[in-house]
Amino acid sequence: MNAPAIALGDLRGILQLPPAGMKDPSSWTLTDSDTVAHFIQVNAQIRSSRWYASDIKFTTQGGQLLEGSFPDLEQFVFVAVYFRQLFAEKDQLLREAVECYCKFVDCQIRPFWVKTELAGFQGAIDGSALPLSGYTMRELFDAYLYGAGLFHGFPGPNSEKRRRFLHLYDKEPPYKVLYALHGSLRTLLNYVGNIAVVIRRDFSHWQSDYSLPLPDVRWHDRLFNLERPPRPEVLDV
């Protein structure tokens, strides 16, 4: 039987491989389970959001905006909470999940594949926030989160993020800013989703095959439910 062709950035080949085994399962801890499970739910929460279901588009003619459609404030703030966890300097959830997975997966192909996706993710964060010029995706994201006062306290007049936000809001065409902001996040989510699919499949098998500690997370989509399921829970394959 011929081995499947594995292409970087393409899930089809990597998912044709059977679930991977695990190295040194006795060293896996509850913290590892919680990290991976939380990463999986962050990806799921973003993809089930109204932000993800919203259009991101605009039409211009002769430099004039004819029509545009973008997520609103509430939709953006909801997913910004999760995106921030994935790549904020003090959080780095995506990197932590990848490092945990690569440490234990018994395979030579999968670590290279997911680390390449992680490198693409990092490159997109530090790359240009098109169609704007002169701004990286991280600078744009931080300007709206912190410079606009959506997260933390209101910034002072000497804040670089505040000055960047004011320039974006007052000087740049709004449709370009919004397209760059939301479109860049969609690009990041492509990398996140690819990694999450690969990690989730193996992690769910590891839970049953190696009797790993079950994650002790409380799933966010149930936090405000009146009826609470019994603990613990296992990720479905």
Residue 167 lies in a domain: yes
Instruction: Provide the residue type at 71 as one letter.
Output: P
Gap between the Cα atoms of 60 and 7, Å rounded: 37
Enclosing domain of residue 169: 28-214
Residue 124 lies in a domain: yes
Confidence of residue 154 (pLDDT cuts 50, 70, 90): confident
Gap between the Cα atoms of 169 and 155, Å rounded: 15
Residue-level pLDDT at 129:
95
59-88 tens-digit pLDDT: 988 888 889 999 999 999 999 999 999 999
Gap between the Cα atoms of 99 and 81, Å rounded: 22
State yes or no: pLDDT of 169 exceeds 90.
yes
State yes or no: pLDDT of 237 exceeds 70.
no
Q: Which pair of structure tokens corresponds to residue 58? A: 């605009």
136-153 tens-digit pLDDT: 999 999 999 999 999 988
Residue 206 lies in a domain: yes
Residue 10 lies in a domain: no
Residue-level pLDDT at 235:
60
Residue 54 lies in a domain: yes
Residue 236 lies in a domain: no
